[in-house]
Chains A and B, each alone.
Chain A
């Protein structure tokens, strides 16, 4: 099970690298959306591994509210670009 977590962290490093090296704002937002999804799935895996209900609840809240926040952010950036 440890190797699964290590593989997930390796997959998480790719969008982190992309968000760091790319200057285009949409590519950054895309990379951050990917980071949010991957991190919350990793939290779910850890919560199931430890049989800890409360970590899983936080992961599901991040999944729903975090993505809604990213949508709001995308609309804000679009509005700023139009000005």
Chain B
């Protein structure tokens, strides 16, 4: 019973991975990709680790540490990447519009 549950959780996690990683290939903006990727990586990986935890409970300190690390670092990394990429984009796009305006004048 627990075996079925753990395999089910791992399979659900892998489905999450695929579902969030496929938008990465398209031509959308960085923020759209970042959103889908952070949801997929955090939720999918946590589901997989919980499935592993059910399967072999005697390594629980390590797996619990992995879950906590995922929850904290993935969200912080998503925030930092969004902040850095969007402000970098704005600076570059304002530069380019300035240049275009200057050329047109």
Chain A residues with CB under 8 Å of chain B are 4, 7-8, 10-11, 14-15, 17-18, 24, 26-27, 29-31, 33-34, 37-38, 41, 44-45, 47-48, 51, 53, 56-57, 59-60, 63-64, 67-68, 70-71, 74-75, 77-78, 81-82
Contacts and interface: CB of A to CB of B under 8 A. Distances in A.
A48 B55 contact: yes
A39 B11 CA distance: 17
B77 A60 contact: no
Contact of B37 (A34, A63, A75, A82): A34
- The bracket for how many chain B residues form the interface is 35 or more
10 contacts: A14-B18, A29-B85, A33-B37, A56-B62, A56-B63, A60-B69, A67-B77, A71-B81, A74-B84, A78-B87
Contact of B14 (A11, A18, A24, A74): A11
A44 B63 contact: yes
If over half of B's interface residues share one DSSP class (helix, strand or loop), that class is named, otherwise mixed; here it is helix
Contacts of A30: 24, 30, 33-34, 37, 81
Contacts of A8: 14, 17
Contact of B25 (A10, A17, A70, A82): A17
3 residue pairs, one from A and one from B, having the closest CB atoms: A26-B85, A78-B84, A67-B73
Nearest to A29: B81
Given A4-B10, A60-B69, A63-B73, A26 B88 contact: yes
